[in-house]
């Protein structure tokens, strides 16, 4: 493999890896929410990345002006090699210039003619690398931590543009055309069963969270490896967890990036060691292969479920309201301002301009196809987010002053209500016996199916608001 071919292959691999990141292939083991939907299309996306995309680029490079440019560049390389073989390695210097003593030779003239013809041409590998580099540069500039950030580009000097149409006052923020989905921490226990029948329990022991949405130190799920236990009779492993910020020692060990991934990697090594030779069934359940990741590396059952457990509890994200429209507009802008270099076009002349436009056309076609894939996923998330929510339960909390006095005797006779007040710390004196013994002919308003009388009365009689 030549150096040029190796570099071209490197650009292809780099862009394919970016696409796998865009389509969140690292979350292939997650089986909840939008990730479950994405898994249905993962095979089609993988086929596009590994087969369809390289084939489309190769087909375009093998036709039209791009093929002619590549042929001219290949002819120059062949002529150069003939000169070296026929006239010696000193005939051409390191910069590709022909020694003056060989200018009038047949090989020298052939080399100079080929060099003039290929002045603004590029080899096939260079053209391929250019296409993949442009696609990588475009998609990576808007993708950040699993989301597409709506940063409209303006130019090379002033990077960003605000969609302003002449209003006197215009309020704008970076993600104004996105929904922010905040998934609060849910500290539920998590169980999973390995193929050999061993059950593993992730038990949340302590969780330290900020109150009232105050933004504090970043928190992580940390397994208490030393407290991991194996119950041979129940064939069950219990792994306690805590959710808290890192201490100084842990901060130094895990660094400032991808801390949760490093915590999981360490736990995957230490938990089987903790179980040891006394629990071979448990170790087999932990270390058995669950799947292969996008790089073909084995992922154990323990790693799979640790990642699913931590992701499910802490995944916040943005949903773009019109990702297709945004990315297509930005792709047009990128092509006009980045891919098409006016200075290079003028210097190359009209004979080479066709190659530039062929490259631009290919970038547009492939970019639009990738945007279509991404938009399908984003549009589905948007549809779920905007879907009208179903009310599965309603409860009322009404102050006594807003309830008609007609209900007082029934409330006073309800032992469950008095017990609830005492649980809430409300120390009311017990009602007189004559009130507690009063029986209403109406059903109790404290049962879910008969709360309408109180709610309707409270809503229809605003004058009964207590002033006490």
> How distant, in Å, are the alpha carbons of 120, 286, 287 from that of 69?
8, 56, 54
Closest CA to 426 of 438, 436, 418: 418
- Listed in sequence order, the residues at least 6 apart from 11 whose beta carbon sits closer than 8 Å to its beta carbon are 128, 129, 132, 133, 136
- Listed in sequence order, the residues at least 6 apart from 79 whose beta carbon sits closer than 8 Å to its beta carbon are 107, 110, 111, 114
Q: Highest mean pLDDT range out of 242-251, 346-355, 458-467?
A: 242-251
Give CA–CA dist 126/235, Å, rounded. Answer: 59
Q: What is the mean pLDDT of residues 198-203?
A: 90
Between 347 and 304, the higher pLDDT residue: 304
Q: Cα dihedral angle (374, 380, 382, 386), rounded to 10 degrees?
A: 170
Q: Provide the phi-psi class of 293: left if phi over 0, else alpha when psi is between -120 and 50, else beta.
A: beta
Q: What is the pLDDT of residue 141?
A: 79
Q: Highest mean pLDDT range out of 311-325, 361-375, 428-442, 454-468?
A: 361-375
> How distant, in Å, are the alpha carbons of 296, 402, 453 from that of 399?
62, 6, 15
**Residue range 390-405, pLDDT digits in tens:** 777 777 777 777 888 8
- Listed in sequence order, the residues at least 6 apart from 439 whose beta carbon sits closer than 8 Å to its beta carbon are 413
Give CA–CA dist 244/205, Å, rounded. Answer: 11
Q: What is the pLDDT of residue 239?
A: 93
Q: What is the mean pLDDT of residues 322-326?
A: 87
Q: What is the pLDDT of residue 353?
A: 63
Closest CA to 230 of 285, 161, 292: 285
Q: How many residues does the chain have?
A: 468
Between 285 and 39, the higher pLDDT residue: 285
CA 406, distance to chain mean position in Å, is: 57
Q: What is the pLDDT of residue 460?
A: 45
Give 219's pLDDT tier (boundaries 50, 70, 90). confident
> How distant, in Å, are the alpha carbons of 201, 347, 403 from that of 280?
17, 72, 65
Q: What is the pLDDT of residue 45?
A: 81
Give 262's pLDDT tier (boundaries 50, 70, 90). very high
**Residue range 161-175, pLDDT digits in tens:** 677 778 888 887 777
What is this structure's pTM? Answer: 0.56
Between 412 and 435, the higher pLDDT residue: 412
Tokens of 233: 């009779």
Q: What is the pLDDT of residue 445?
A: 44
Q: What is the pLDDT of residue 398?
A: 77
Give CA–CA dist 9/129, Å, rounded. Answer: 8
Q: What is the pLDDT of residue 416?
A: 85
Q: What is the pLDDT of residue 64?
A: 67
Q: Is 232 exposed, middle or buried (0-12, 13-18, 19+ CB in 10 A)?
A: exposed
Comparing 134-148, 172-186, 421-435, 438-452, the range with the smallest average pLDDT is 438-452
Residue 48 has pLDDT above 70, yes or no: yes
Helices (H), 88-174: 106-117, 124-140
Which three-class secondary structure string do you get for 338-384?
HHCCHHHHHHHCHHHHHHHHHHHHHHHHHHHHHHHHHHHHHHHHHHH
């Amino acid at each position: 493999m030549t150096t040029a071919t190796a570099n071209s292959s490197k650009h292809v691999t780099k862009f394919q890896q970016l696409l796998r990141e865009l389509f969140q292939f690292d979350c292939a083991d997650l089986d909840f929410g939008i990730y479950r939907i994405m898994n249905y299309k993962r095979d089609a996306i993988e086929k596009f990345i590994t087969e369809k995309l390289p084939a489309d680029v190769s087909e375009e490079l093998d036709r039209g002006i791009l093929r002619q440019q590549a042929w001219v560049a290949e002819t120059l390389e062949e002529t150069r090699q003939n000169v070296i073989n026929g006239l010696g390695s000193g005939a051409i210097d390191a910069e590709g210039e022909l020694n003056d003593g060989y200018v009038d030779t047949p090989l020298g003239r052939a080399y100079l003619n080929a060099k003039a013809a290929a002045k603004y041409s590029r080899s096939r590998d260079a053209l391929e690398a250019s296409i993949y580099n442009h696609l990588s540069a475009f998609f990576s500039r808007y993708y950040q931590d699993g989301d597409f950030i709506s940063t409209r580009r303006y130019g090379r000097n002033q990077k960003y543009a605000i969609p302003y149409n002449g209003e006197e006052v215009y309020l704008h923020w970076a993600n104004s055309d996105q929904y922010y989905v905040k998934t609060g921490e849910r500290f539920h226990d998590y169980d999973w069963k390995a193929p050999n029948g061993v059950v593993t329990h992730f038990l949340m022991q302590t969780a330290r969270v900020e109150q009232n949405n105050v933004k504090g130190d970043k928190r992580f799920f940390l397994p208490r490896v030393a407290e991991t236990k194996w119950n041979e009779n129940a064939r069950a492993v219990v792994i306690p967890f805590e959710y808290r910020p890192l201490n100084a020692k842990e901060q130094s060990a895990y660094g400032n990036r991808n801390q949760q991934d490093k915590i999981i990697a360490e736990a995957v090594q230490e938990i089987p060691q903790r179980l040891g030779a006394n629990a071979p069934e448990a170790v087999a359940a932990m270390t058995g292969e669950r799947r292969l990741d996008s790089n073909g590396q084995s992922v154990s059952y323990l790693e799979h479920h640790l990642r699913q457990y931590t992701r499910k509890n802490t995944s916040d994200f943005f949903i773009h309201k019109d990702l297709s429209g945004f990315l297509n507009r930005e792709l047009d802008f990128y092509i006009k301002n980045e891919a098409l270099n006016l200075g290079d076009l003028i210097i190359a002349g009209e004979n080479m301009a066709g190659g530039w436009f062929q490259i631009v056309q290919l970038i547009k076609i492939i970019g639009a196809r990738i945007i279509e894939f991404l938009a399908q996923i984003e549009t589905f998330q948007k549809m779920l987010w905007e879907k009208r929510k179903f009310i599965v339960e309603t409860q009322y909390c009404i102050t006594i002053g807003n309830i008609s006095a007609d209900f007082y005797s029934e409330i006073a006779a309800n032992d469950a209500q008095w017990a609830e007040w005492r649980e809430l710390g409300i120390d009311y004196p017990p009602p007189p016996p004559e009130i507690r013994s009063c029986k209403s002919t109406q059903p109790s308003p404290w049962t879910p199916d008969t709360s309408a009388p109180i709610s309707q009365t409270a809503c229809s009689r605003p004058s009964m608001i207590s002033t006490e």
